[in-house]
Amino acid sequence: MPRWSGHTLRRRVQFHELDLAGIVHFSCFFRYMEEAEHALWREAGLSIAQPGADFGFPRVATSFDFHKPLRFEEEFDARIRIVAIAEKTIRYSCVLTRGDEKLAAGTLTSICVSKRPNEPMRARPIPAQIAAKFQDAAASS
């Protein structure tokens, strides 16, 4: 299995991530998943936002199911993996855990789009060098 087919990011809850109940605000879970996604790309020797690139990867779908709360200063792991890659999209699965406890599970789907000046964004095929790296990862998941 390629070493970058999944990635685990260790994180500590910061005070500014809390809501009025003293637990992590639900929106932060999406940021944690995105941080893990970017770490996965770096581990594969890639960048999701290459300077000067004429393409990008906006999100088209995302969700989370919450099981247990996270509180200030708690450490947790965000484990992300590629579950599917198509011509223009990449779908990830992410599980947040604290030790053996499952805190939340989510999914994220990104689409590759062209982002050329003075042109509207349009879906386009994922560049071959990126697709080749991640195709193997999705197949072995």
pLDDT at 7 over 70: yes
Using one digit for the tens of pLDDT, what is the confidence trace for 75-123? 999 999 999 999 999 999 999 999 999 999 999 999 999 998 899 999 9
66 strand-pairing partners: 104
User: What CATH number belongs to 6-139?
Assistant: 3.10.129.10
Contact between residue 86 and residue 125 where contact means Cβ atoms under 8 Å apart: no
pLDDT bin (cut points 50, 70, 90) of residue 2 is very low
Among the listed residues 102, 107, 31, 39, the one whose alpha carbon sits nearest the alpha carbon of residue 70: 102
Per-residue pLDDT of 37-67, as tens digits, reads: 999 999 999 999 989 999 999 999 999 999 9
DSSP class of residue 91 equals E
| Boundaries of every domain in the chain | 6-139
Rounded to two decimals, the pTM is 0.89
Bigger pLDDT: 124 or 134? 124
Say whether pLDDT at 3 is over 50: no
Residues in the chain: 141
SS3 4: coil
